[in-house]
């Protein structure tokens, strides 16, 4: 394309190989296509670095060559003083291996651009200009041992870790064999099960909290003695790598992730690849002062390093020190690498519209591939003919891989619905149904009591279960536990869990909903079972990015390679007298239409116990809604069921038999519908009430049976009428059971507004018994 400075494909050189070059170093394990051509490399020798300290702003590695300006000029003198002491000294073989990997990354970018221009692939976004620091990062870290949360520029990192050119090009063509997403995501959305590269998505910054959760898994694994012999994928000195662009540092989740990583001293390596632009927005518009590392330098326990990310040797020294700091459990590290973006943001962008020629030319002078090639020649590691031979070999390799990728089969269209939910555990199956003939015992308890009992018994059964959220612990300052009664949640649902199971498994989170869900995803990826609490449904929205684009999508977008079975407990609903706008909402339809997410809504204590146990034992992410008004109602109390009591998802319950009209409902409307049904009975109308209990999935067979039985249907719920949950049920009844209806499907729901503080206004907004009774009367007389 005219807006890119593509390294053109060159013909095979006819020049003889240079007698001077040493053999090239081998790339990371697994990169078989390059490995054939290169012998194994020796470990890179690095002179001892000075003692690192937390909160340091010490410059990294060496000063740039005199001809180019330092990207961090205030650091220049210190770099020059420490040049010999800090700069690594790879062998000639290793230096050639680094060049090969950088050039390979660039040539795959160029091949994808060529394929896009030929309409053989459908999207391209490059890692050009970022290659040096990413190859350095890959050399400092261990594939399949450390964990990786890259972003879309990280092509060279993935190659260095062991992803092959063919695997990357399979992603570009959307092939079924693509290990990144099996044809389900755009190219450069990295993921590789064997290499511990966790599935990446398009939203910028959502990977950061997940990386923190992944690191937290290792932290908590060490604290929970019951788990110490259970897993082989935890290592005492593992590092979790996560990268981002300079624009992503504006996202709130970056600051939330940095805060938690520093607070818990987690071994997270943050790499900021600063190419100066977020698409067209320059860094000084994004960031106060134009330098994000200046803003974060006072975070405690943070090892802060800066480097010229286009200088592979300087970057290698910095990355080695940052990784060492993390492996020693001293806290997280942040490397701020200044790189370039020689191509447009993507092929959907034209950088000439907002970048002047002189700026683009200046960037081209710092091209890491060209610069390092020149260094190799200048230092007589190889001559120009030998360098050309390496290029020719890689060009041929990339062309061959592209041909193989283009010939690779596309995914079968029939696989589209695979991995929306777990293929291994079906929470609607009979093994989750122990409801019939369950023996109850003890005094009757409220919904709060039976949810609390379920959490206690499940945590005793499975040490992988973690409970966290805002205020869920009894007392974060453990020294006060014996002096205070304990909080245990604003509704006391998690009371005494911390006392029983300890602070490693029950703990408070920051007041940040995205932080809660994002960390939970990372923990679940490592095999933990987080049961988190969002304090009020009304405050779930900061976590929506994590829920919609990450939690619900993880399994599907990775083709089943990754999963995150998190349970989110969320108090919901109104009828509180004083809950008002921000403590009384019920927007459940927003979540029931998200594929991959189970949504459960019990109406009484016993159902809450059985459904929560199923939620914890199933293998899918679950939104478990607990109506606040129902927490302590006397009419929904129950004795305690046994510890194996479960109710399967998608199983409704007929809570009142009837013959004239059916009410399909859930949550707080179940009791109101029962009261209205009793009143209608006095008018000679027999009303059947069906409690759905599970909203996604829902029990269509039960709905079908009741419609065929009564031929008149009301759908009642607390959510707003327009676009509410009842619209789906009503539409499907009209579509599939029309011939069984003697009257139109009627809906009873809240007004299309918000819940007010004044009790009389709240009563007018939310559906009441009188509203249900009026619907019964009108429908009966139709």
Are 208 and 242 in contact by the 8 Å Cβ rule? The answer is yes
| 438 neighbors 641 (Cβ within 8 angstroms) | yes
Cα 416–chain centre separation: 21
What are the Cα distances from residue 422, in Å, to 150, 557, 765? 25, 13, 39
Residue with token string 């909160």: 55
714, containing H or E segment = strand 713-720
DSSP tag of 286: H
Known catalytic residue at 130 = no
Residue appearing with tokens 């449904």:
537
Q: What angle do CA 103, 109, 112 make, to 5 degrees?
A: 140
Nearest alpha carbon to residue 467 among 502, 439, 436: 502
Residue with tokens 């701020």: 336
Cβ neighbours around 74 below 10 Å, total: 12
Bridge partners (DSSP) of residue 716 are: 665, 748
Catalytic residue among 189, 192, 545, 583: 583
| C-alpha to C-alpha distance for 546 and 205, rounded to whole angstroms | 10
Residue 245 β-bridge partners: 273
Query: Which residues, in sequence order, are CB contacts of 774 under 8 Å at separation 6+?
Result: none
**Do residues 514 and 209 lie in contact, with contact meaning Cβ atoms separated by under 8 Å?**
yes
Contact 521, 206 (CB under 8 A): no
| Positive or negative: CA dihedral 431, 435, 441, 443 | positive
Residue 156 host element (H or E): helix 155-161
The answer to whether 306 and 315 are in contact (CB under 8 A) is no
What residues contact residue 655 under an 8 Å CB cut-off, 6+ apart? 670, 674, 689, 690, 691
State the Cα–Cα distance between residues 136 and 144, nearest whole angstrom: 17
What is the residue whose two structure tokens read 């604003």?
490
Q: Which bin fits 615, alpha (ψ -120 to 50), beta or left (φ > 0)? A: alpha
Helix (H, G, I), strand (E, B) or coil at 395: helix
Helix (H, G, I), strand (E, B) or coil at 771: helix
CA-to-CA dists, residue 354 to 198, 284, 367, angstroms: 34, 15, 20
Report helix angle 131-140 to 312-327, nearest 10. 40
CA–CA dist 339, 130 (Å, integer): 6
10 Å CB burial of residue 692 (0-12, 13-18, 19+) is: buried
Q: How far apart, in Å, do the first and last CA atoms of the chain sit?
A: 67
Helices and strands in the chain, H and E counts: 27, 21
Location of structure tokens 């041992």: 145
**SS (HEC) of 416-478:** CCCCCCCCCCCCCCHHHCCCCCCCCEEEEECHHHHHHHHHHHHHHHCCCEEEEECCCCCCCCH
Active site residues: 583
């Amino acid at each position: 394309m005219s807006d890119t400075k593509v390294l053109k494909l060159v013909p095979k050189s006819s020049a003889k190989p240079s007698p001077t070059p040493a053999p090239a170093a081998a790339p990371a394990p697994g990169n078989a296509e390059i490995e054939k051509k290169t012998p194994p490399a020796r470990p890179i020798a690095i002179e001892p670095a000075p003692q690192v300290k937390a909160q340091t702003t010490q410059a990294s590695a060496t000063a740039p060559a005199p001809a180019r300006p330092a990207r961090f000029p205030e650091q220049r003198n210190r770099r020059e003083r420490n040049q010999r002491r800090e700069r690594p000294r790879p062998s000639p073989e290793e230096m050639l291996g680094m060049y090969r990997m950088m050039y390979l990354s660039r040539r795959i970018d160029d091949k994808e651009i060529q394929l896009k221009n030929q309409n053989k692939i459908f999207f391209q976004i490059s890692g050009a200009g970022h290659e040096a620091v990413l190859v350095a990062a890959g050399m400092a870290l261990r594939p399949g041992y450390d964990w990786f949360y890259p972003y879309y520029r990280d092509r060279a990192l993935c190659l260095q870790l062991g992803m092959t050119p063919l695997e990357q090009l399979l992603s570009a063509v959307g092939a079924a064999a693509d290990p990144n997403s099996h044809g389900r995501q755009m190219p450069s959305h990295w993921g590789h099960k064997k290499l511990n590269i966790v599935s990446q998505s398009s939203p910028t910054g959502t990977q950061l909290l997940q990386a923190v959760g992944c690191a937290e898994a290792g932290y908590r694994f060490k604290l929970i003695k019951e788990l110490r012999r259970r897993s082989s994928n935890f290592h005492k000195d593992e590092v979790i790598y996560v990268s981002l662009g300079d624009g992503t540092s504006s996202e709130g989740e970056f600051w939330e992730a940095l805060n938690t990583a520093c607070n818990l001293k987690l071994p997270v390596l943050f790499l900021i690849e600063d190419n100066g632009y977020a698409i067209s927005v320059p860094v000084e518009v994004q960031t106060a002062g134009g330098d994000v590392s200046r803003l974060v330098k006072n975070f405690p326990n943070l090892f802060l390093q800066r480097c010229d990310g286009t200088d592979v040797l300087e970057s290698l020294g910095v990355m080695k020190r940052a990784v060492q700091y993390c492996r020693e459990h001293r806290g997280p590290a942040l490397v701020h690498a200044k790189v370039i973006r020689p191509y447009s943001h993507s092929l959907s962008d034209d950088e000439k519209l907002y970048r002047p020629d002189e700026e683009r030319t200046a960037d081209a002078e710092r091209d890491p591939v060209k610069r390092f090639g020149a260094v190799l020649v200048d230092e007589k590691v190889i001559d120009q003919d030998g360098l050309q031979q390496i290029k020719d070999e890689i060009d041929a390799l990339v062309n061959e891989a592209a041909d193989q990728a283009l010939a690779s089969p596309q995914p079968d269209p029939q696989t589209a619905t695979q991995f929306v939910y777990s293929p291994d555990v079906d929470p609607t199956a009979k093994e989750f149904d122990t409801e019939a003939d369950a023996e109850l015992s003890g005094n009757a308890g409220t919904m709060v009591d039976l949810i609390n009992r379920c959490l206690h018994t499940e945590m005793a059964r499975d040490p992988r279960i973690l409970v966290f959220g805002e205020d869920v612990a009894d007392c974060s300052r453990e020294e006060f536990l014996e002096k205070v009664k304990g909080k245990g949640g604003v509704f006391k649902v998690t009371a005494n869990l911390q006392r029983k199971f300890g602070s490693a498994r029950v703990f408070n989170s920051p007041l940040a909903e995205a932080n809660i869900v994002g960390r939970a995803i990372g923990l679940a990826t490592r095999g933990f079972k987080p049961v988190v609490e969002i304090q009020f449904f009304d405050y779930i929205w900061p976590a929506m990015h994590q829920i919609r684009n990450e939690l619900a999508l993880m399994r599907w977008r990775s083709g089943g390679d990754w999963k995150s079975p998190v349970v989110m407990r969320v108090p919901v609903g109104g009828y509180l007298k004083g809950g008002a706008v921000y403590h009384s909402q019920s927007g459940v339809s927003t979540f029931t239409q998200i594929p991959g997410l189970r949504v459960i809504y019990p109406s009484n204590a016993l159902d809450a116990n059985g459904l929560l146990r199923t939620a914890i034992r199933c293998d899918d992410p679950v939104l478990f809604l607990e109506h606040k008004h129902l927490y302590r109602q006397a009419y929904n109390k129950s004795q305690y069921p046994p510890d194996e009591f479960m109710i399967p998802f998608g199983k409704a319950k007929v809570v009142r038999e009837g013959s004239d009209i059916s009410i399909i409902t859930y949550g707080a409307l179940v009791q109101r519908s029962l009261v209205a049904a009793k009143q209608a009975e006095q008018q000679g109308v027999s009303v059947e009430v069906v409690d759905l209990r599970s909203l996604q999935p829902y029990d269509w067979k039960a709905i079908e049976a009741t419609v065929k039985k009564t031929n008149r249907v009301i759908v009642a719920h607390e959510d707003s009428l327009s676009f509410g949950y009842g619209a789906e049920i009503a539409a499907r009844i009209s579509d599939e059971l029309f011939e069984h209806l003697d009257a139109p499907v009627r809906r009873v729901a809240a007004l299309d507004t918000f819940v007010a503080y004044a009790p009389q206004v709240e009563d007018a907004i939310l559906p009441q018994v009188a509203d249900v009774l009026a619907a019964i009367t009108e429908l009966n007389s139709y």
